[in-house]
Amino acid sequence: MQPARWFGVGSAEGIGEGIGARAAGDAIAAAGAKLLIVFCSQALDLPTVIGEIRETAGGVPLIGCTTAGEITAAGVRDASVVVAALGGDGFAVDTACATEASRNLREAGATAAACVPARDDLPYKVLLLLTDGLAGDQREIVRGAYELHGATVPLVGGCAGDDLKMTRTFQLHGGEVLSDAVVAAGIASDAPLGIGVRHGWRRVGEPMLVTSSVGNVVYTLDDRPALDAYLQHLGLDEPADQEGLARLALTHPLGLGRPGGEELVRFIRGGDFAERSLLCIAEVPQSTLVWIMEGDAQSVLEATDAAAGDSLAELGGRPPLGMIAFDCIARRSVLGEPQVQLEIDRLGTLAAGAPIAGFYTYGEIARTRGLRAFHSQTLVVLSLA
């Protein structure tokens, strides 16, 4: 008998044909698949891998993106494909995409968000968004989705990666390999869906005032060129190129002060070495106080436990079918390769052996209440009952 609801994960790595087929075959745990979610390294031939997945799955709706590392319960990989599949009568799914997103990020968010099934018999809903984090201020995408749904539909997801090259990421919709796009899946369920979000960073040193910024570009801090002020606070020499700056910033993000609450964290994806500005993934408002942030293995792992625990708490005591993790590449850098498996093991323990899929992101999306929805250098966990 076909289960009423199911969730499966498959993965494969290596060079050659059949990688996509193997991952999809392992993920599709039963009949009645409703959605495939694909996280794939750019080291692989994307059109070939996606073609194999679709041939194996028989036209099941598909969304996905490229990564800065792929996650399963078995661990972390860097040149693999991960496929998560959900199905059964307990789920209904629609998908959508918006191309040329950078022309109007808010409109792209609204266009992609128009795919949540209107099913009264499936009362639990979530909108899963996968975006091009290099396209501009990601908060505009979230604002577009919020304008369409308000507070009625929780948001979850992340920004695609390109293994820290910071040049071009790809989004996947159906059989298409896209860039500068937003892809989305609206999921309706007859059982709860839980979201948890924590970052694990803390302030270091004295605050700086954002004295000039426009959107996600910071021009001056304390009336000094932003790149110069940032490097001086760290006591470090200037990196050689954009990739070097991005790697440096992985473990030294900016924290935006919020009255009475946890700081918002902003991932610095690069800068302009001529005008001495910093380029972030999302908006850094002018006249805001910012701190350089840091973390360590203990603080990152404590945040892992909290994010997963918060997501499981929303399942109302039901055991999880599975988890999807949207984990910032910066957290991986703080842990380091010998310890990154500890995070995956902790997720596996909390999931009680349920399948886990995920990827390392350039930014994370999570909103269950209020307006705050875009995050950086954070772990977001979606648990499915």
- For 34-69, the pLDDT digits (tens) are 999 999 999 999 999 999 999 999 999 999 999 999
Query: Which has more confidence, 91 or 257?
Result: 91
Q: Is the pLDDT of residue 180 over 80?
A: yes
Q: Is the pLDDT of residue 368 over 80?
A: no
Residue tagged 């994307």 (tokens): 46
Q: Is the pLDDT of residue 377 over 80?
A: no
Q: Which residues contact 336 (CB under 8 A, 6 or more apart)?
A: 297
**What is the per-residue pLDDT for 355?**
98
- How confident is the model over 307-318, as a mean pLDDT? 96
Q: Is the pLDDT of residue 299 over 60?
A: yes
The pLDDT > 70 percentage for the chain reads 97
Q: Is the pLDDT of residue 263 over 80?
A: no
- For 10-40, the pLDDT digits (tens) are 999 987 789 999 999 999 989 999 999 999 9
- How confident is the model over 218-225, as a mean pLDDT? 97
Q: Is the pLDDT of residue 245 over 60?
A: yes
Written as six digits, the tokens of 366 are 């999570």
**What is the per-residue pLDDT for 370?**
55
- How confident is the model over 356-365, as a mean pLDDT? 96
For the ranges 89-103, 104-118, 331-345, the lowest mean pLDDT is seen at 331-345
Task: Give dist(CA 155, CA 363) in Å, integer.
Answer: 14
**What is the per-residue pLDDT for 15?**
78
- For 146-175, the pLDDT digits (tens) are 999 988 999 999 999 999 898 999 999 999
Q: Is the pLDDT of residue 260 over 60?
A: no
By DSSP bridging, strand 155-159 and strand 124-131 are parallel
Q: Is the pLDDT of residue 258 over 80?
A: no
- How confident is the model over 343-365, as a mean pLDDT? 95
Mean pLDDT of the chain: 93
- How confident is the model over 197-204, as a mean pLDDT? 86
What's the one-letter identity of residue 27? A
- How confident is the model over 284-307, as a mean pLDDT? 91
- How confident is the model over 208-224, as a mean pLDDT? 96
**What is the per-residue pLDDT for 94?**
98
Prediction pTM value: 0.89
**What is the per-residue pLDDT for 262?**
62
**What is the per-residue pLDDT for 273?**
95
- How confident is the model over 95-110, as a mean pLDDT? 98
**What is the per-residue pLDDT for 45?**
96
Catalogue all structural domains in the chain, each as residue range(s) with its CATH number: 6-198+299-384 (no CATH), 202-294 (2.40.30)
